[in-house]
Structure 1
């Protein structure tokens, strides 16, 4: 049975800056014994700036990006941000990475979305070279050649070592992965995995992809928690999230979240959710999300029911639950888990 840890998942901002609210939540999480706090980026705020702000006003809690998008910065730029934040926080950084999807990569970053598994492997290798600081950084990869000698090159590039000595060569690298090949590679090259959604009742979906995970490998899914005596009311926001991701976060021809739901045993339902969502029938799309699926990937219902369901998560490979909520919810979860 796993002794679960808790993380605070702050995600990415909406239309407005959250002000000091996220800092206050992180401080409360730290006092309650949470292990980590996580910030994200989409096509609004970046993930490193809020995390550094929080890090300056906390002292023990680990600081994670969930996730930093590969296309937002080169691997050496990402390594520099990681190196700096890890040093300033006294070695509390966790670098969470993800490839995002073609709509964001090609529509926002103006880059081709090709060979995401290969790009991830090259990206992680370069970051590890920077943090190890054992030799000048080089790469003969397809996507991030160092030094660059392609079209437009002046032919004057030279391999470089970071000027600043990293506090830690072994900053943990987690990867947000959904596809089978990406999850398999994550177990091989990373220190942890950030599933978007995970069911402790369907461990077989990922079992063969995690066989290469080394000792100490962390699995930290984001888990929505809604404590409410009315189970239907508690499940509604989970179903709304799933309908949005399965129905609208991706193209009609290719949606990784929809494909994952299908692999987890709900292919027909996933098709129907997407059809309804793309037709503008969002309420019907939410209603089409099976209660069973929403319930499996979340912790919902009366407090006693949540307490009972936690046993199933403790009997899974999951090491940490990343949750989002107010101080009252965090306090309840700390009492149940920690």
Structure 2
């Protein structure tokens, strides 16, 4: 099992002492450090800044949002980071949701799978550097040929030689079709709210993608990086209670009520009634009641909480379910070091 340090995205202000956590992860044997973006801090700049003080950890975006930049711009950012880090970059991509895509970026959300496929194809074309990059579209046409085009657009070949044509691309995916697409065209799956209990279902989705003609990877060389809170504690009940407001936020408040991908994940786990209640309470601004409506199982289904022995046992269970990396958060250097000693990587 590999470990990844998930730095996430920034709240109102940049978090303090993150550089110390990143350096501790580098020293302690963590495989990867990843950052995210929503509608505040971006995913690439923190990796370049904090990653410059590291020597071995891979540096990945988890995730860079498709609508935040064109595929050629994403390829430029990735190849730049790859050069600066000596070949340690991972480009993690995700479509986000309609509230962010249309509300923040002013882009259409429709046909997310088709957009993802086309986006990845353009990025790989840039990194391959076999010739000028052209794409028929319809989502990312190169050169642009819309009704307001000047007609002067020229196919271009990336000026800077990429360090690696096979720079890893991971995709954030939650639903069955998106996970299958990920297995087909990507090098890894960024899984959120992964449940080892549902591993047989995930395997069906993944196997569908691996079986498609032209699939890039097999299960043997495909990475599954699952976001997972790993908390070593003698007060398991207290930690579960502390995390319930976070689950309530993502289930009840992240996304439109009629289209919340995180809520759909928990529905697939069998929490249909609980999701409906949490959503209703959260949308009624009864956030404390929404958190109280989260059963313990909704927390422990997707997180590892307990004493050292319990944590080791659960990590083994996640590995047996197919997870190759746990993306976890940490609040101190001591916690980073402790987690590194508990997980055999």
With structure 2 as the length reference, what TM-score do the two structures score? 0.94
- In 2, Cα distance between equivalents of 1:57 and 1:316: 34
- Residue 58 of structure 2 contacts residue 89 of structure 2 at CA under 8 Å; is this kept in 1? yes
Aligned to 1:315: 320
- In 1, Cα distance between equivalents of 2:336 and 2:320: 22
Aligned to 2:13: 16
1:131 maps to 2:127? yes
- Residue 82 of structure 2 contacts residue 88 of structure 2 at CA under 8 Å; is this kept in 1? yes
- In 2, Cα distance between equivalents of 1:209 and 1:159: 37
**Deviation for aligned residue 1:237:** 3.4
- Residue 7 of structure 1 contacts residue 36 of structure 1 at CA under 8 Å; is this kept in 2? yes
For structure 1, which runs of at least 5 residues remain unmatched after alignment? none
**Deviation for aligned residue 1:243:** 0.8
Q: How does 1:147-162 map to 2 (within 5 A)?
A: 147-162=143-158
**Deviation for aligned residue 1:311:** 1.9
Aligned to 1:144: 140
Q: How does 1:242-281 map to 2 (within 5 A)?
A: 242-281=247-286
- Residue 122 of structure 1 contacts residue 143 of structure 1 at CA under 8 Å; is this kept in 2? yes
- In 2, Cα distance between equivalents of 1:239 and 1:219: 25
**Deviation for aligned residue 1:313:** 1.1
**Deviation for aligned residue 1:62:** 0.2
Aligned to 1:57: 53
- In 1, Cα distance between equivalents of 2:51 and 2:241: 33
**Deviation for aligned residue 1:5:** 0.4
1:91 maps to 2:87? yes
* Alignment coverage as a number of residue pairs: 334
Q: What are the Cα deviations for residues 216-251 of structure 1, in whole angstroms up to 9, with x where unaligned?
A: 110001101222212211112332221111100011
Aligned to 2:213: none
- In 2, Cα distance between equivalents of 1:324 and 1:259: 23
Segment of structure 1 superposing worse, 320-329 or 165-174: 320-329
Task: Write out the 4+ residue segments of structure 1 that deviate beyond 3 Å after TM superposition.
Answer: none
- Residue 20 of structure 2 contacts residue 333 of structure 2 at CA under 8 Å; is this kept in 1? no
- Residue 308 of structure 2 contacts residue 342 of structure 2 at CA under 8 Å; is this kept in 1? no
Aligned to 1:195: 191
- In 2, Cα distance between equivalents of 1:237 and 1:159: 53
- In 1, Cα distance between equivalents of 2:240 and 2:333: 20
Aligned-CA RMSD value = 1.1
Aligned to 1:30: 26
* 1:236 aligned residue (241, 244, 247): 241
- Residue 12 of structure 1 contacts residue 42 of structure 1 at CA under 8 Å; is this kept in 2? yes
* 2:205 alignment partner, SS class: coil
* 1:116 aligned residue (112, 115, 124): 112
With structure 1 as the length reference, what TM-score do the two structures score? 0.96
**Deviation for aligned residue 1:335:** 1.1
